Structure 1
Amino acid sequence: MDPQSRWEQERQEGKNKRKKSIVKAAEQVYSRKGFEKTTMQDVADEGNLGIATVFRYFPKKDKLIEAVAVSILERYLCIFDTVATLNITCLEKIEKLFDHFILDIQPENLESTQLLEAFESYATTSVEELENYQDYIDIRKKIADILFRIIEEGMGDGSIRTDIRTKDVLASVINAFGLYSRKLSLFERIPFIEDHPEPSVQLSLIKQIFMGYIKA
């Protein structure tokens, strides 16, 4: 590689690293203060950055909010991709995905889960259409494609039922379970009435019902 090309590569790597650091700082402060109350100066302070640097990478607040949501969803994409490559049956892969959603409402994952739920609410109620929302949609499509690949493989391994519309049923089950787990995350810090089951208990029970239904 010639010196000019090496310089360009290092420059781009530096820009990508700085951009990721801004997104990480934004995720941390958004988790504490929410989208509406957080300012770009808050993000700059969180990341020990100049405000001009933040605006250079994200000229509008909405762009930074979208970048944070995309970053969180990319972590989901990695999980789905990892599960898809495991040398286990389709039923076992589906169970691992269920277990992941249950882990989403544990304290160590709660902030990211709540932030993703808040973003989708923010996106649907935003007065102006979010410019980069397509990036978010594209990653969701990649996740759906991986899920369908898991299902297609499972239709031949004998671990799941074949007397139902397998692809439609499993996609609906996974989506419903994931959405419900994220909704429950919003109530994790709110005391429930005495006889109301904890969110993790609810999800475990629903998992058992779903797994029993799709098992061959």
Structure 2
Amino acid sequence: MDNLNSKTRWDRERTEAKQQRVALMLEAAQKVFNRKGLDKATMQDVATEAHMGVATVFRHFPKKDKLIVAVAIKIIESQTETFEEILRRPGTCYERLEQMLDVFIGFIGEEHSENTKLIEAFESYAAQSREPLEDLPAYHAAVGRIQTSLSQILKDGINDGSLRADVPLEETIATVTNAFGQFAKKLSLQSSIPMLESNIEPVKQLEILKAMILDYLKAT
């Protein structure tokens, strides 16, 4: 029994140590990708940032593309937790939908701007890749969790009478997430390029878009 307990404890400690190493690699890679860009960053750059050997990085991520996708998933999953927390809050679904849209607006703020720009760069990188990125379905699954939260809000809103019941659900979900998500990322990217900056504040533009969507979905 003691030997069994010792093996179980050793396996758990080994798993935890592996998870910690991977977390360090992802954190280091995120910093490097933000600093150097996805194309110019190397696995050696990530290893140096993480204070570990490059062979260790390759052991967990045999190709740079796998590391790039893993970082993108890490960012999306951190955002997903916020949406799922809003889903559990009290209040009408209309109020919680408004809070979800506020989260999208917050993505262009200084606190999230680097992550927003990195996701924009990642999606461009994935689109221009000669071959589909191997782990891309896992990224789409992570994004899908955000759409699931929005879907649940709309369904519950129809039931509690705070949202219109005559809108096509799937089309509405896709439109809201694409309109807000893509627009927020574009505005965040443009804000870092002086020649592309608009005279109208990005937040103001998103507030107008939010009002239009809420007005469209609110039950009369």
Normalised by the size of structure 2, how large is the TM-score?
0.92
Cα deviation, 1:84-107, whole Å, max 9, x if unaligned, reads 111121111111111111111111
Conservation of the 8 A alpha-carbon contact between 1:114 and 1:185: yes
| 1:36–1:193 CA distance, 2 compared to 1 (3 A) | closer
1:108 aligns with 2:111: yes
1:15 aligns with 2:30: no
- 8 Å Cα contact 1:58-1:64 kept in structure 2: yes
Question: Paired residue for 1:152?
Answer: 155
| Cα separation, partners in 2 of 1:58 and 1:195, compared to 1, 3 Å | closer
The one-letter amino acid paired with 2:143 is: R
Cα distance in structure 1, aligned partners of 2:70 and 2:167: 39
1:125 to 124, 128, 152: 128
Q: CA deviation at 1:65?
A: 0.4
Distance 2:182 2:80 in 1: 16
5+ residue gaps, structure 2: none
1:3: which partner in 2? 6
CA distance in 2, matches of 1:129, 1:193: 30
**Mapped contact 1:104–1:110 kept (Cα < 8 A):** yes
Counterpart residue number, 1:199: 202
The percent identity for this pair of structures is 44
Specify which of 177, 180, 204 is matched with residue 180 of structure 2: 177
The AA in structure 1 aligned to 2:27 is K
Q: Partner residue of 2:192? A: 189
CA drift at 1:135: 1.0
Distance across 2 between alignment mates of 1:99 and 1:194: 22
Check conservation: 1:70, 1:136, Cα contact below 8 A.
yes
The letter for the 2-side match of 1:15 is: K
Opposite residue 15 of structure 2, the aligned amino acid is: Q
Distance verdict in 2 for CA 1:198–1:61, change over 3 Å = same
Gaps of 5+ in 1: none
Deviating above 3 A after TM superposition, structure 1's stretches of 4 or more consecutive aligned residues are 192-195
Indicate which of 44, 53, 57 corresponds to 1:54: 57
Report the counterpart of residue 141 of structure 2 in structure 1: 138
Query: How many pairs are equivalent?
Result: 216
